[in-house]
Each structure stands twice: as C-alpha cells, then as structure tokens.
Amino acid sequence: METSGRFIQPHTGSFFLFGPRGTGKSTWLRPLRDDAVWIDLLDPEAFRLFQARPERLLERLAAQPQATDVVIDEVQKVPALLDVVHSLVEGKRPLRFILTGSSARKLRRGGANLLAGRLTELHMHPFMAAELGAAFDLQRALEIGLVPLVWSAAQPENTLRAYASLYLKEEVQAEALVRDVGAFARFLEAISFSHGSLLNLAEVARECQVGRKTVEGYLEILEDLLLSFRVPVFTRRAQRHLVAHDKFFFFDTGVYRSIRPTGPLDSAQEIEGMALEGLVAQHLRAWASYRSVPAELFYWRTKSGSEVDFVLYGADVFVALEVKRARNVYPTDLRALKAFQADYPEATVCLLYMGTEALKISGVLCLPCDSFLRTLHPEKALPVG
C-alpha cells in the first residue's frame, strides 16, 4: 500500500485512522480504492443508506466475496456501523477494516469500546517539514500552517479562513454539540489566546462570559474534534516546585492564526512567537506518534517561572527543547535549559532559534529551527546530537 509520501505507516491488521479534516486520510488510503469495499459517509446518499440500515454493510460484502479490505471513511457519522464491524471481526472471513474518523465523540458514545484491542489506533497529523522536502517553507508554514488541504490549495488563505467555520457548521451545529453556536465561536477566539500557554479555564470562562463548566464542555468538544491537544508538565523525579496546569495548543499553527483575533494592541512578534512554538509542538507530536518506539511530549515549568518549552521522554529519548523566535542567542536565553540539565543530567538540551547557523553556547547546542524541522524524521533520532 502506497503512503503518498507520508511518514505514517499502515498496519497489516485492522485499524482506526484518526485525524482532523483535511489532514489527508482519504488521500493516503486512495491506492486501496479500486480493490477495497469503500464506504464514504461524507457522501449524502451513502450516509442516508447506512444510517437507515447499518446491516447494509453485510450485503455490500456479500456482493464482493474476493475483497479483503474494507474502508469506512468518517465512521463517526454512523456509529451503529461499529456493531456490524464488530460482528465481522469476530467472524470467519478474513477482512481488514480501516475506519477513518475526524471526531472521537460519537465513537466513544457508540461501539468503539467493543473494538478495543482488536483495532489499532493510528493518528494522521498535518504535514511534517521533511515530508514536504524542498517544498517546505518555514515562513509560509508559520502563516498558513501545514494542513494538507490548506497547503495545497490554490488560495490557501481563503481555505484557512473557511476551515474553522467548516467545523462550526458541519460538526458543532449539525451534530447539535452545543446549544449556542455563537458562544462556542466566542470560546474559540478566547481560547486562542491560550495557544502555547498555560491553560486557565477560569480565565477563559471570564473572557467569553460563560460558566467554567460550559468552557470545560467546549474544550472537550474541541479535543474530541481533534482540533487541539494539551501538553502536561514533566514531573518525573521533580526536584523543584512545578506548576500543575497543562499547556494548550491548536493542532495546527495556521488554524491558530486563523482563529486568533488581532487588533492594534496585538504584537506581531508575540503572535508569531506563539505560532513558532505551536509549529514545533505539532512536529514533535507527529514525530512521537509516527515512530515505532513510544515517546511522550511534556513541558517543564517551575513555580518561580523557569520554563522549558518541550521535553520528549521515552525509552530511547530524553531531550529538552527551548524555542526562541529571535535570530540571535545570548547566554541568558539558556538559563531554563541549564536549570533543567542541572536537575536531569541524563537529558540532552537544545535551543531552537530563527538564525541560520548551528552554535554551541555555554555547552548548549543552538540550532536553526528551519534545519531542525527539515531533518526531523520518525525513523531517526532527534537531530540534536
């Protein structure tokens, strides 16, 4: 099976393939289209037929006895199909099911738990720089992000502006996930100020003038739609008092910039700084997700304010990364990394910046962010050695 240049690797057995809309799930699976039983639930007619009679899947398979692969695109549209899939997985006919989804909400309420342990979970992320190769442009990525649907569009800025409204209309409103779509839109704008920052739900609730419980529900919807993720604080063998709040990120820096409101009082440097940190975050998250050896993404911050943007920790990796938008590095920029290294001498520390030369200052490797992202590959170690 071809992988369309993406780093994600398919499983030989059945699997769920999760990822936000536009990340290229269907494109990645396209080589299967001629040979597989393919059900696209974004097609209105297919949706109507399978919603009315999920057992129609049995009839489709009976008509194609030679087929071994079954692709159900956007399976969350008809969760009842999971019961049919479960019966077929337990049956005698050797079938590989590939179930794609851009929302985990309905699947949790449906029968996804029935398939736990039987179907592996894979996750599709926006492009990584190394997947694009020479076509990658750091400044363009900071402006429009790396969602394939947007990156390859003839008018990416227009496509990006429509992206958030797509979810508001097709997912939130159509599925009646919230009673007040206007309040949810205000929440999106309010929480955009938390991108790359500590998540304070009480503050977000005050900003959009709704209750904290409502904001918690909205955040759950955002995460269920795979539009955001949290990065927890690294607390293993902690020697200092650490903060307890997670950091919040939209899944793609372009989506963040399309949602975040701007005005005369907003600093372009601050917005681009958060965009850069988010771009690194989504790359590290994809790198950890695609590799064969598990790794987790954290950040580190003491209550006194010393912070390291990212910590990657796993069986074969322990790296702390600081991200700076500046084009020059000074010894004072390395204080947090040095403090982390004092607590964890086993860790490799590295600073990423917007300059063009690799430097070593006070024993800390400082790398151009552009070259770091271009060489980041899930089958290779982090390029910090």
Q: How far apart are CA 29 and CA 3, in angstroms?
A: 7
Region of 317 on the Ramachandran plot (φ > 0 left; ψ -120 to 50 alpha; else beta):
beta
- pLDDT mean over 295-321: 96
pLDDT cut 70: percent of the chain above it: 94
Q: Which of 130-134, 180-184, 221-225 has the highest mean pLDDT?
A: 130-134
Kind of pairing between the strands at 37-40 and 69-73: parallel
Res. 267: pLDDT tops 90: no
Per-residue confidence (pLDDT) for residue 1, from 0 to 100 = 38
Res. 358: pLDDT tops 70: yes
Same domain, 225 and 300: yes
Whether 112 contacts 140, CB under 8 Å: no
Within a domain: 384? no
Within a domain: 36? yes
CA dihedral (18, 20, 23, 26) in degrees, to 10, reads: 50
Same domain, 197 and 327: yes
Q: Of the ranges 161-165, 321-325, 328-332, 341-345, which one carries the lowest mean pLDDT score?
A: 161-165
| Domain limit, last residue, from 93, 123, 153 | 123
Within a domain: 2? no
* Three-class HEC string of 197-253: EECCHHHHHHHHCCCHHHHHHHHHHHHHCCCEEEECECCCCCCCCECCCCEEEECCH
Within a domain: 1? no
| Domain limit, last residue, from 123, 154, 186 | 123
Per-residue confidence (pLDDT) for residue 117, from 0 to 100 = 67
Residue 127 per-residue DSSP state: P
Same domain, 180 and 273: yes
pLDDT cut 90: percent of the chain above it: 72
Res. 4: pLDDT tops 60: no
Q: How far apart are CA 160 and CA 158, in angstroms?
A: 5
Same domain, 221 and 115: no
Res. 374: pLDDT tops 80: yes
Q: What is the pLDDT of residues 224-264, one digit of tens each?
A: 889 999 999 999 998 899 999 999 999 999 999 999 988 77
Within a domain: 5? no
Per-residue confidence (pLDDT) for residue 210, from 0 to 100 = 87
Same domain, 252 and 219: yes
Phi, psi of 241 (to 5 degrees): -75, 120
Res. 167: pLDDT tops 90: no
| Domain limit, last residue, from 104, 123, 142 | 123
- Sequence-distant contacts of 82-88: CB under 8 A, at least 24 apart: 82/107, 82/110, 82/111, 82/112, 82/114, 82/115, 83/54, 83/111, 83/114, 84/54, 84/55, 84/57, 84/58, 85/57, 85/115, 86/111, 86/114, 86/115, 86/118, 88/57, 88/58, 88/61
Within a domain: 6? no
Q: What is the pLDDT of residues 96-115, one digit of tens each?
A: 999 999 887 767 665 555 57
Helix axes 56-63, 81-89, angle to 10 degrees: 50
Q: How far apart are CA 364 and CA 348, in angstroms?
A: 9
- pLDDT mean over 127-149: 96
Indicate the number of domains in the chain.
Answer: 2
Res. 177: pLDDT tops 80: no
Same domain, 298 and 261: yes
Helix axes 181-192, 201-208, angle to 10 degrees: 130
Same domain, 54 and 186: no
Same domain, 189 and 321: yes
Report the helix count and the strand count for the chain, using DSSP H and E.
Answer: 16, 14
Q: What is the pLDDT of residues 326-356, one digit of tens each?
A: 999 999 999 999 999 999 999 999 999 999 9
Same domain, 112 and 153: no
CATH code for position 113: 3.40.50.300
For residue 290, the enclosing domain spans: 129-375
Phi, psi of 38 (to 5 degrees): -115, 120
Name, in order, each residue with C-beta under 8 angstroms of 59's C-beta and a sequence gap of 6 or more: none
Within a domain: 380? no
Same domain, 303 and 168: yes
- pLDDT mean over 126-136: 96
Per-residue confidence (pLDDT) for residue 229, from 0 to 100 = 97
Same domain, 293 and 169: yes
How high does pLDDT run on average in the chain?
Answer: 91
Same domain, 95 and 152: no
Q: How far apart are CA 213 and CA 230, in angstroms?
A: 18
Q: pLDDT class for 3, splitting at 50, 70, 90?
A: very low
> What's the token pair of residue 27?
């494109």
